[in-house]
């Protein structure tokens, strides 16, 4: 995916993000803000969050809205996640894009420590807080985001309905649905095959699966509706929510510390946080993108592996090569099961 600075359509969009005080999240907050979006971000790190807000330029003189707002948030606490979105709605009236970036990388290797015995394994319940932040936190975020992204207050809905009626072309074709997005941050680490950070790896594979669970739901007709009480407003504009995951390879942030030197010394490509931020912005800004795999497609249901700034859609590769990695019988079974569940009225991802 080529780096682009053409993000004009992000101007005045409202973005809610977690983990915005450091690393990839902070770069993403900066980039959204530079391109004119209003950002409401949550993080545990109070000082760093406030410092980032202070470092970004204030709202334009004619605007009374704050451009960037920090809300102290623990993404593992459901009420905090709700408060983050509530704040964005109260400040800006709607939410356009949501990015779940908060994460922790704790080694956690002692979870399956080989020196455990029947006494020691009983002594202390293991620490699973990494799962709480990375996986449960992303699930909380997605649950709340998908409601707030669809929520349009009554007045806006009427205006959107009017806009839509006014915007039919001469052939009477309605203009596109309101384009919104949810981006989850997974990782390429589960593919590497080390057992270095089991809780982290399991949580990130879970985040990838979270995207896979959501994408069939939001390609269904449900995604074309507002949830507001005035849902039946005639001719109201519909909303589409594009759900995607980004799977960064090693990225120079406090999370990986000194590993970045060893990584580069081994001749491996590394990302800067800005590179990941660019990919996240691209997923929010464009409903169709071309990855470095060369295929231009709807930016929906993708899992973008990002290495040295280049992005590849893992999901597209998995679909295309299914017969190779799953075997022909396995492939036929998966495709047959999709048809079966579809026939039963289930939401099924159609690849």
Q: How many CA atoms lie within 13 A of 298 on its CB side?
A: 13
Residue 18 as a binder of ligand NAD (CB under 6 A): the answer is yes
Residue 21 as a binder of ligand NAD (CB under 6 A): the answer is yes
DSSP-based three-state secondary structure for 346: coil
Please tell me the distance from the alpha carbon of residue 34 to that of residue 48, in angstroms, as a whole number.
19
Task: In angstroms, give the least distance from the CB of 134 to ligand NAD.
Answer: 6
Candidate residues 1, 14, 16, 19; the one interacting with ligand NAD per rule CB under 6 A: 19
Q: What is the CA radius of gyration of the chain?
A: 21
Q: If binding means CB under 6 A, how many residues of this protein chain bind ligand NAD?
A: 31
DSSP letter string, 84-128: HHHHHHHHHS---EEEE--------GGGG-TT--TTHHHHSPPP-
| Segment interacting with ligand NAD (CB under 6 A) among 15-23, 84-92, 295-303, 312-320 | 15-23
Task: In angstroms, give the least distance from the CB of 104 to ligand NAD.
Answer: 5
Task: In angstroms, give the least distance from the CB of 180 to ligand NAD.
Answer: 21
Residue 133 as a binder of ligand NAD (CB under 6 A): the answer is yes
**Total residue count of the chain as it appears in this document:** 351
Q: Please, which residues have CB within 8 angstroms of residue 180's CB and are 6 or more apart in sequence?
A: 95, 96, 97, 149, 150, 239, 240, 241, 242
| Segment interacting with ligand NAD (CB under 6 A) among 71-79, 91-99, 214-222, 310-318 | 71-79
H-helix segments, 16-167: 23-34, 46-55, 78-92, 120-123, 129-131, 137-148, 154-166
Please tell me the distance from the alpha carbon of residue 212 to that of residue 206, in angstroms, as a whole number.
10
Task: In angstroms, give the least distance from the CB of 178 to ligand NAD.
Answer: 27
Candidate residues 172, 221, 254, 258; the one interacting with ligand NAD per rule CB under 6 A: 254
Task: In angstroms, give the least distance from the CB of 315 to ligand NAD.
Answer: 17
Residue 187 as a binder of ligand NAD (CB under 6 A): the answer is yes
Task: In angstroms, give the least distance from the CB of 184 to ligand NAD.
Answer: 9
Please tell me the distance from the alpha carbon of residue 137 to that of residue 61, in angstroms, as a whole number.
36
Question: Which residue is associated with the tokens 């780096």?
Answer: 3
Residue 216 as a binder of ligand NAD (CB under 6 A): the answer is no
CB 177 within 8 A of CB 239: yes
Residue 22 as a binder of ligand NAD (CB under 6 A): the answer is yes
Candidate residues 1, 14, 25, 311; the one interacting with ligand NAD per rule CB under 6 A: 25
CB-nearer residue toward ligand NAD: 187 or 240? 187
Which residues make up the interface to ligand NAD (CB under 6 A)?
Answer: 18-19, 21-25, 42-45, 73-76, 101-105, 133, 137, 185, 187, 248, 250-251, 253-256
């Amino acid at each position: 995916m080529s780096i682009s600075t053409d993000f004009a359509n992000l101007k005045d969009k409202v973005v809610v993000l977690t983990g915005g005080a450091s690393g990839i999240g902070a770069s993403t907050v900066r980039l959204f803000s530079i391109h004119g979006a209003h950002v409401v971000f949550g993080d545990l790190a109070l000082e760093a969050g406030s410092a980032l807000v202070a470092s970004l330029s204030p709202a334009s003189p004619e605007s009374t809205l704050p451009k960037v707002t920090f809300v102290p948030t623990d993404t593992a606490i459901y009420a905090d996640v709700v408060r983050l979105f509530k704040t964005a709605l109260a400040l800006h009236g709607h939410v356009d894009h949501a990015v779940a970036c908060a994460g922790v990388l704790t080694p956690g290797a002692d979870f399956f420590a080989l020196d455990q015995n029947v006494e020691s394994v009983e002594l202390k319940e293991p620490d699973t807080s990494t799962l709480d932040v990375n996986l449960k936190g992303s699930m909380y975020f997605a649950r709340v985001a998908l409601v707030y992204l669809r929520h349009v207050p009554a007045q806006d809905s009427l205006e959107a309905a009017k806009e839509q009626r006014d915007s039919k072309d001469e052939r009477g074709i309605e203009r596109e649905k309101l384009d919104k997005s949810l981006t989850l941050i997974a990782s390429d680490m589960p593919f590497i095959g080390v057992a270095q950070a089991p809780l982290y790896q399991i949580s990130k594979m879970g985040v990838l699966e979270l995207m896979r669970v959501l994408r069939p739901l939001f390609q269904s007709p449900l995604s074309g509706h507002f949830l507001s009480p005035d849902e039946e407003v005639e001719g109201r504009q519909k909303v589409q929510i594009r759900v995607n995951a980004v799977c960064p390879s090693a990225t120079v942030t406090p999370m990986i510390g000194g590993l970045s030197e060893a990584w580069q010394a081994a001749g491996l490509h590394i990302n800067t946080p800005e590179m990941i931020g660019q990919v996240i912005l691209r997923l929010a800004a464009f409903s169709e993108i071309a990855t470095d795999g060369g295929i231009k497609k709807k930016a929906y249901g993708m899992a973008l592996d990002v290495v040295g700034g280049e992005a590849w859609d893992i999901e597209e590769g998995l679909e295309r090569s299914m017969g190779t990695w799953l075997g022909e019988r396995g492939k036929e079974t998966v495709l047959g099961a999709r048809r079966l569940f579809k026939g039963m009225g289930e939401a099924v991802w159609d690849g």
